[in-house]
């Protein structure tokens, strides 16, 4: 019996990633309001591993982590999105 083909991964929306990365980079201080807005408008999910303390920010198919809290995880997410956009 043949194996079922794996579904192809969706191509990332580079324009959306670029817009979000620029928006995140524009916040240099407290990101609390930005985090709350992105949760409602862009599907941002923030989770914390209770054992390790690692915070994960997930949005638009990208995950980024930090041990320093949600704001840093979001900053790392923005950096990952920017690198993906630059890679094309």
Q: What does the DSSP assignment read for 34-54?
A: HHHHHHHHS--EEEE-TTT--
How far apart CA 75 and CA 88 sit, in angstroms, is 20
* Alpha-carbon Rg for the chain in angstroms: 15
Question: With 80 as the cut, is the pLDDT of residue 3 above it?
Answer: no
pLDDT in tens, 19-58: 999 999 998 778 999 999 999 999 999 999 999 999 999 9
If you ran DSSP here, which 8-state letter would residue 64 be given? E
Contact (CB, 8 A) for 20 and 74: no
Contact (CB, 8 A) for 75 and 83: no
């Amino acid at each position: 019996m043949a194996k079922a083909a794996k579904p192809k991964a969706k191509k990332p929306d580079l324009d959306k990633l670029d817009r979000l990365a620029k928006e995140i980079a524009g916040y240099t201080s407290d990101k609390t309001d930005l985090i709350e807005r992105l949760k409602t408008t862009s599907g941002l999910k923030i989770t914390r591993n209770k054992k390790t303390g690692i915070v994960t920010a997930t949005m638009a198919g990208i995950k980024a982590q930090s041990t320093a809290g949600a704001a840093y995880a979001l900053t790392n997410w923005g950096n990952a999105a920017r690198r993906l956009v630059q890679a094309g």
